[in-house]
Amino acid sequence: MKAKDYYYREARRLGYKSRASFKLLQINERFYLLKRGYRVLDLGAAPGGWSQLSLELVGAEGLVVAVDIKPVKIKGVVFIRKNVFDEDIVAQLTNYAPFNVVLSDMSPNISGVSSWDHARSLELAERALDIAIQVLKEGGHFLTKIFQGDMERDFRRKCEKYFELVKAHKPKASLPQSAEIYFVCKRFKSLRTP
């Protein structure tokens, strides 16, 4: 596929760990989530494309913490080998909190059954949101992926309780036939019960 080949080739040319780096790059160019000096948490980070790009954008004065059950080896990135559903994950993350940005490009294993894949993606996104509201700095940002479906509106409403701005966005680097979209949530308000 032409688009896939282009971003794949560009990722290799620029030394990025995955073509997914371009999704974050395009989202950031539009929504300005990542800035120099920021503290960033990347959930489900492997193979590390988003962590790698985040480190470039926040610079040496910033911090990037990557969480995954698979190893992420990027010089300058703090790696925590954990499942996001582990009960002690938030306690471990508080050593690095508060974060300016929480990112999640987590994806379920694709079954090919759209309703099932949608529900599983929402489970991951809701867990990412749950972690984000516990470790984000006031005014911080949250970005997560979901697969489109009938529960999307409820998830959006949940995000709107915590953030001043919530936008659904599909970057050009996403394959046109993919059901994935990203929820861009800006300016964390405060802890409230969903």
What is the per-residue pLDDT across 61-109, written as a single tens digit (0 to 9) for each? 999 999 999 999 999 999 999 999 999 999 999 999 999 999 999 999 8
Instruction: Decide if 125 is inside a domain.
Output: yes
Identify the segments of the chain with pLDDT beneath 70: 1-5, 7-8, 10-17, 191-194
Number of domains, the chain:
1
Instruction: Decide if 6 is inside a domain.
Output: no
Instruction: Decide if 181 is inside a domain.
Output: yes
Instruction: Decide if 104 is inside a domain.
Output: yes
Question: Tell me, what's the pLDDT at 3?
Answer: 47
Instruction: Decide if 7 is inside a domain.
Output: no
Backbone φ/ψ region at 4: left (φ over 0), alpha (ψ -120 to 50), beta: alpha
Q: What is the CATH number of the domain that holds 161?
A: 3.40.50.150
Instruction: Decide if 13 is inside a domain.
Output: no
Strands 180-188 and 163-169: antiparallel
Instruction: Decide if 10 is inside a domain.
Output: no
User: For the whole model, what pTM was predicted?
Assistant: 0.93
Q: Which of 17, 35, 82, 145 is catalytic?
A: 145
- The reply to whether 17 belongs to the active site is no
Separation in Å, CA 105 to CA 18, 61, 100, 122, 175: 12, 24, 17, 12, 15
Question: Tell me, what's the pLDDT at 17?
Answer: 63
Separation in Å, CA 171 to CA 23, 133, 154, 190: 6, 25, 22, 28
Domain that holds residue 114: 20-188
